[in-house]
Amino acid sequence: MNWGNIVWVPVFRKQAGIGINMIKLPIYLDYNATTPCDPRVVAAMFPYFTEKFGNAASRTHSFGWEGEEAVEYAREQVARLIGAEPKEVIFTSGATEGDNLAIKGVFEMYAGKGNHIITVATEHKAVLDTCGHLEKIGGEVTYLPVSREGLIDLAELEAAIKPTTILIAIMYANNEIGVIQPVREISRIARAHGVLFFTDAAQAVGKVRVDVNGDGIDLMTISAHKLYGPKGVGALYVRRKNPRVRLTAQIDGGGHERGMRSGTLNVPGIVGFGMACELCRLEMEADNERLTRLRDKLEKDLLQLELSCVNGSREFRLPHTSNISFQYVDAEGLITGVNKNIALSSGSACTSASLEPSYVLKALGLDDGLAHSSLRIGLGRFTTDEEIEYAIKELKEAVIRLRGINHQWELYKEGVGQKLINE
């Protein structure tokens, strides 16, 4: 096997008697951006690229029947993970398409009732940019602020509802800080006012228990590549009763997926998506227990560094995500300093080309300097104890090294006030 640029290095574990273990470099700690396909997912997909290649919409022969059967079984697997009925699962190309279909589809279908949408300043760009598009064509959008912990104020949400409000769009868990919003309370407010509730749950499904009925969700997006499935496939949950949600299709041609999303179905991807959901349903609890332990160890050790802090709520958050600021250290410099050995990010993969500080962290009240000094660390199913030990050591050394060449850090250590430092 050709390992390319992977380097093998010895790493000593602290536990006595374990000896030397080998890890592969670079270490991947950017699981919020994407996850590797689980080998069991790849194995399930493979036959549908070759001998089982039929179009699921071909109803006149066995090749098509076989494809359709595989798609419907995967639909059942996705539905089981989120507590839905299979007919409520609409396959898409991913969460971005699902976000567009949900928001634009509701906006057009319920135009006779109103044109007002409520969302949050820390939403994923797929939601924010879609709302921005609707504003240009006559929609009205309210962007709720968040607290320093990244949580919305439920009283502010309820106060924002108008007679023309048709949709509340609030993500389940944030992609940069991992904060989980009070979904059940949000849905109760939406129901009380006869407003539909949509949530982008790409970061949550497969990581924490999501129950569309218990949570009171009317529409919800999922992305396969966030839960150890393939890229380019996802799903939109659309409630069929109490209330029955209707959408205007955004892609026309053929009437696939109950007329909501036309186009030839990605059978291999959907099969892999289904298998990934099944594995998450069965293994999530054990994975979460292990990842919480690793995340807590990582934070405990890194927060030993002076002027470091975790961003967002430490109570209501995903088990695998940590966003940490190291004051007087530029995060991009820190990432560059370790990127040969550790894959990290300073925010969403969708905005990684921007030099601006994270809009999510700014919404939490962080100033530009602190926002620029923040790392997003995402752990996952294949993260090991040895990798966390190695990452802690590398990051600590990099922070100390970068602060050592930072004039502002030198002034801080000499006792110069923050205001004078900024001047």
Residues marked as catalytic: 350
| Residue 252 tokens, joined | 């026309």
Order of all β-strands in the sheet with 374-378: 308-310, 321-326, 374-378
Q: Which helix (H) or strand (E) holds 186?
A: helix 183-192
Please report the beta strands in 102-164, taking only residues with DSSP state E, as ranges in sequence order. 116-120, 140-144
Nearest Cα to 307, choosing from 356, 369, 394, 362? 369
Neighbours of 110 (CB within 10 A): 18
The alpha carbon of residue 210 and the mean position of all alpha carbons in its chain are separated, in whole angstroms, by 14
Coil/strand/helix, residue 273? helix
**156 within 8 A of 147, measured Cβ to Cβ:** no
- The string of DSSP letters for 114-135 reads --EEEEETTS-HHHHHHHHHHH
DSSP state, 152? Answer: P
DSSP state, 231? Answer: T
| Residue 321 tokens, joined | 């995500």
Specify the residue for token string 């110069």: 416
In whole angstroms, give the CA distance from residue 351 to residue 356. Answer: 9
Q: Which residues pair with 8 in a beta bridge?
A: 24
- The string of DSSP letters for 365-377 reads T--HHHHHTEEEE
